[in-house]
Structure 1
Amino acid sequence: MIDLPHGPSGLSRATWTDADFATMGWHDCRIHAISISEHDDNTLPPARLLLDLDYIVRWVEPAPGEKHFTFWISPATLVFDGAWDVSGQLGPMHEAMEIADIHRLEATADNADPLWHIEGQNFDLRLRAAGYTQFLRLQPQHVSRQVLTAAERLGTSFAEQPFS
């Protein structure tokens, strides 16, 4: 267990929402799994879009004499509750799925929920949802690459529980 804020990584908390959108960034975050599921109750719309990803908490400038960045990374579950109008395309499945950016287009008179565009290398997803919650499942790890190993992230998970 660690205390938050986590000084070395700069992390201030383990749960984030769409209210934090302007301060978050997903560039080069690896997606390990995608799930579209239903709520356990009769909530409408019933769909939930969940992404299991490696969230880059902080990029660390190369130390003097070094050439490469290092990274503070935490495995995370990004959840869009009440997702609807989900569409997109997946590229070659033998290549990694990395997020280039997530865009939010505000709601319009015709659509009460914003349009979320998850743009990536080898994929493109669009959906409508009121917002999202992102749970960092483990404390950030300082690594020399932009992705965690399966052992470092404790496998694939859609757990909606932040570390504490």
Structure 2
Amino acid sequence: MIALPHDPSGLSKATWTEADFPDMGWHDCRVHAVSIGEYEDDTLPPARLLLDLDYIVRWVEPQRSKRQFTFWIAPATLVFERAWNITGQLGPLHEVREISDVHRLDPPDSNAEPLLHIEGQNFELRLRAPGYTQNLRMPPQHVSRQILTSAERGGISFAQQSFA
């Protein structure tokens, strides 16, 4: 029997890529920080878009005696390598940012790289990138809310190392 990276939550792996897109969902995932980093060499395009977020691994249905869902959540770094044509909007900076959905759209031109649309509460991002990697930095934690505290998630981080 093969052990999952985190049996209690049902998590099958800690590193995800664009090949896993049909199996992933980002609805209600809290975005804590966004970074656009440049490569140190002359690689074009010169940008990497990174998001520090709380990835909801699983929503747990409430028991009959309870009324609330609970959640298995892990801090994650979502990285779009060689990102370009990055555009977007931020709402008030003091408001929370949660992802509503991530859409992978057909290319609007002859370039094969998809257009990605990250739609959210108080923000939206559009970008072109050949793919992405999402690293879950810690095992999922079972909590009664849809976010982790700063202490539970280890603060803001763009670390790209998965826990397993």
TM-score normalised according to structure 2 size? 0.95
Paired residue for 1:41? 41
Cα distance in structure 2, aligned partners of 1:4 and 1:161: 17
Identical amino acids, percent of aligned pairs: 70
Say yes or no: does 1:20 pair with 2:17: no
- Aligned runs of 1:6-155 on 2, under 5 Å? 6-155=6-155
Structure 1 residue 39 displacement after superposition: 1.6
CA RMSD of aligned residues (A): 1.1
Cα distance in structure 1, aligned partners of 2:132 and 2:77: 10
Paired residue for 1:162? 162
Structure 1 residue 35 displacement after superposition: 0.1
Q: Give deviations 1:4-33, integer Å, cap 9, x for gaps.
A: 342211101100000000000000000000
Q: Which runs of 4+ in 1 moved over 4 A?
A: none
Structure 1 residue 92 displacement after superposition: 1.1
Q: What secondary structure sits across from 2:120 in the alignment?
A: strand
Q: Give deviations 1:128-148, integer Å, cap 9, x for gaps.
A: 000100000000000000000
Cα distance in structure 2, aligned partners of 1:47 and 1:151: 30
Q: Give deviations 1:105-127, integer Å, cap 9, x for gaps.
A: 12355222100000000011000
Q: What secondary structure sits across from 1:19 in the alignment?
A: helix
Q: What secondary structure sits across from 1:12 in the alignment?
A: coil
Structure 1 residue 43 displacement after superposition: 2.0
Q: Which has the higher helix share?
A: 2
Structure 1 residue 40 displacement after superposition: 2.7
Quick one: which amino acid aligns to residue 112 of structure 1? A
Could you tell me which runs of 5 or more consecutive residues in structure 2 were left unpaired when the two chains were aligned. Answer: none
Cα distance in structure 1, aligned partners of 2:38 and 2:5: 34
Quick one: which amino acid aligns to residue 98 of structure 1? E
Quick one: which amino acid aligns to residue 119 of structure 1? E
Q: What secondary structure sits across from 1:8 in the alignment?
A: helix
Could you tell me which runs of 5 or more consecutive residues in structure 1 were left unpaired when the two chains were aligned. Answer: none
Cα distance in structure 2, aligned partners of 1:142 and 1:24: 19
Q: What secondary structure sits across from 1:83 in the alignment?
A: strand
TM-score normalised according to structure 1 size? 0.95
